[in-house]
Structure 1
Amino acid sequence: MDSQTQTAETLLARLVGFDSVVGRPNAPIIGFVQNWLAGHGVRAHVLQGPEGDRANLFATIGPADRPGYVLSGHLDVVPATEPGWQGDPFTLRPDGERLIGRGACDMKGFVAAMLAMVPELAAMDLGAPIHLALSYDEEAGCRGVPHLLAALPDLCARPLGAIIGEPSNLTPVLAHKGKAAIRLTARGVPGHSSRPDLGANAIHALVPALAAAVAQASALETGPQDARFAPPFSSLQVGTVAGGQALNIIPDTACAEIETRAIAGVDPLSLLEPVRAVARAAGIELHELSHYPALALDPDHPLAALAQDLAGRAPLGAVSFGTEAGLYQQAGIPAVICGPGDIGRAHKPEEYLTRGELAETCAMIGRLGTRACA
């Protein structure tokens, strides 16, 4: 094992050790990364989010006033409450070639490789800078990165492109679906179920909006198609429904969470409008949970060719899961997905990255540094 890969594994163990679950304060892990970078002469900008207890981090290696490339990752992870874990999810556990732990694949492995390559990148004579961008609350609908992107004009010249290191088996991905999610809340009047005339059933009040959601989901199947995606159409689903206390009590509150996933060129929030219209007419409360656009990088874009050269793999047209890449593109920064591991391992017990994948990622970042010196 070369020194960069060994360093990356050590860093991955440290990163996994932070219980940086989405929606929680992240000062400890941000502080660790900031100190690591400072130890190698790289200044990090810690960008506090509006929540007050979470922050993004942005750092530049090389001349910030020239266009360069962003290596982008998120530091939050999903909870690790599944019963299938064979050990502490927040302690990296080697098992042969596998490095097991929450976030090892999604996506602290990419972050560990970024950080492990900092000494080598800092020693290069970079003509184009390499930026490190780390965000919070990606797992809650990419809530953190918009604040980072808003700050970029004051931190660097507009980048030539961004590599989003989400798990893609180190295969460049040029497109993904967009997503929007809302919560509906219906209010009623509680009472004994034997006297429905004296109450108002919140679950019943929610039903028309749920029916509109089911109808819209069916309609989308025959709507605009994009064969790059599976399925090739935009989709909508009711993900959660909650309400009521007991069978003989009229429920006074009922909630549902609904999401859409939109093919490129379709605003995911617009797909919810039939549901929102019914909800508004019925006096149901609406709360937007998340909203991010699809990614669509032209296969002929120079970033696609660069990503292919760096990864040594031909690009994949599209994936159906979402990332922060669409938000980079919306901000005027071309983006591509290319990171270690398989998305099928994410959000599951015994999540892992292999040592080989970690080594390949370090090598890919090293090749980017070499290209940035040209």
Structure 2
Amino acid sequence: MDSIEILRKLISFPTVSRDSNLELIGYIGELLDAHGIPFKLIQDEDRRKANLFATVGPTRRAGIMLSGHTDVVPVDGQNWSVPPFEMTERNGRLHGRGAADMKGFIASALAASLRASKMELNTPLYLALSYDEEVGCLGVRSLIQMLASTPVRPLLCIVGEPTGMAVATGHKGKIAARATCVGREGHSALAPLALNAIHMGCDFVTALRAEQDRLAKKGGRDGDYDIPYSTVHVGKMNAGVALNIVPNLCHVDFEIRTVATDDPECIMARLQHAAAMIVESAARTAPEATIDIDIVNAYPGLDTPGASDAVQFVKSLIGANGTIKVAFGTEGGLFDRDLALPTVICGPGSMAQGHKPDEFVTIEQICRCDAMLDALLLRLARGLD
């Protein structure tokens, strides 16, 4: 089977993060079984989702790992001109949810694994497929635990997120957090006697914006990113029951994305201090006032040195001269932090098409990915020792 044929099948599975990915994993398992490729499944607690880890070639040597996530973002509320969960070929583009992010790479990696099964590899090829990447790189963490306990770990990981087949060496780290602001309810006609939690939330948003301004002016810089400094972003604010009730509760959901030279703990400490100052003032009206900040999810950034052997190896597979860094997060930072696994990001398509209606990857990009993986298989056949 070729990559495009496999991609057509992968897109047909609606593996939105809120839903199960087991049908897709079952299809991949059948493909691997048919070619004699051994694999392991690592299921979640509810047994609704699973990671898959496959090995082609010798099992007692360290090899190269191809990593991708099987989940996709929802299509709810988007105006698609083609069926999102059917692959549509049009003008050299392959449309469908996940075509770019990142079932295109998974299709190429699967096709390469099937080709590898007919070769005699001296260095193994690993395939690592995870779930729930789109909601915070959640599923891959149990796969990492499995790899941490194995006697032989991969030499190098290629995360196949869409980079236009450029070699990416890094991405920012991320913290997703929620500030819970507690005030005192009351009748709106007597509002000054109450404490409006929305007002507290707005004061905290002002503090977040001040921190963003500080980071833009005085924080760390990395010119390889489109936005070369760390960012703070407010995504949601939820509060209020009725117009004539002073609200006593407000939730502010925000995120922090950091370049490697900024310490996210220091940023959080400044925000905690700002929240404490807001509470100190609010407590004059309502001693029960609080702002509690909880981290909902976090993953580390990736900053693989451009001169490292891992980067040079991947560049040699595609004949690349330079490198880039990407704005979006990946499981690569977790591989680097938790396994000390050298990691590079390189895959077909562009994130400019990801998460949008009529998402697509071009046939040309799939062919370039196939060519990179063919070059990889030749290197694995010769051996990397």
Asked if these proteins are the same fold (TM beyond 0.5), I'd say yes
Q: How many residues were matched structurally?
A: 369
Question: Partner of 1:138: helix, strand, or coil?
Answer: coil
Question: 1:198 deviation in Å?
Answer: 6.5
Query: What is the aligned partner in structure 1 of residue 86 from structure 2?
Result: 91
* Matching residue's letter, 1:137: D
Q: Which amino acid aligns with 2:219?
A: G
- Measure the CA separation in 1 of the matches of 2:264 and 2:46: 25
Among 55, 60, 76, which residue is 2:55 paired with? 60
Q: CA separation of 1:207/1:101 partners in 2, compared to 1, >3 Å: closer, same or farther? A: same
Partner of 2:282: none
Per-residue CA shift, 1:276-300, capped at 9, x if unaligned? 3444674223332221111111122
Matched, 1:325 2:332: yes
TM-score (norm 2): 0.90
Task: Show CA shifts across 1:103-131 (max 9, x none).
Answer: 00000000011112222111111111110
* Preserved CA contact (<8 Å) 1:60 1:132: yes
Residue in structure 2 matching 1:250, options 246, 252, 256: 246
CA contact (8 A) 2:113 2:125 kept: no
Shift of 1:190: 4.2
Q: Is the 8 A contact 1:179 1:262 kept in 2?
A: yes
SS in 1 for 2:37: coil
Q: Read off the aligned partner of 1:102 and give its amino acid letter.
A: R
CA distances 1:148-167 after superposition (whole Å, capped 9, x unpaired)? 11110344612111000000
User: What displacement does 1:273 show?
Assistant: 2.4
In 1, are the aligned partners of 2:167 and 2:345 still within 8 Å (CA)?
yes
DSSP 3-state at the match of 1:139: coil
1:148-194 deviation digits (Å, cap 9, x = unpaired): 11110344612111000000011111122111110122234544312
Question: CA distance change for structure 1 residues 345 and 60 in 2, over 3 Å: closer, same or farther?
Answer: same
Structure 2 stretches lacking a partner, 5+ long: 280-289
Q: Residues of 2 paired with 1:123 and 1:294: CA distance? A: 37
Q: Which of the residues 347, 354, 361 maps onto 2:362?
A: 354
Counterpart mapping for 1:1-374 below 5 A:
7-50=2-45, 52-155=47-150, 157-196=152-191, 199-221=194-216, 222-279=218-275, 282=279, 283-330=290-337, 331-374=339-382
State which structure, 1 or 2, has the greater radius of gyration over its C-alpha atoms: 2
Instruction: Tell me the secondary structure at the aligned position of residue 117 of structure 1.
Output: helix
Question: Which letter maps to 1:194?
Answer: A
TM-aligned CA deviation for residue 201 of structure 1: 2.4
Distance 2:131 2:273 in 1: 32
> Mean alpha-carbon deviation: is it higher for 282-291 or for 9-18?
282-291
Counterpart contact for 1:178–1:267, Cα < 8 Å = no
Q: Which runs of 5+ in 1 are unaligned?
A: none
Structure 1, residues 240-273: CA drift from partner, whole Å, max 9, x if none? 2221133222224311111111112434354222
- Normalised by the length of structure 1, the TM-score is 0.92
Residue identity in the other structure for 2:96: G
Q: Is 174-183 or 223-232 further displaced after alignment?
A: 223-232
2:327 maps to amino acid: S
Q: Call closer, same or farther: CA 1:51–1:264 in 2, change over 3 Å.
A: farther
Residue of structure 1 equivalent to 2:284: none
Cα contact 1:103–1:351 (8 A) shared by 2 = yes
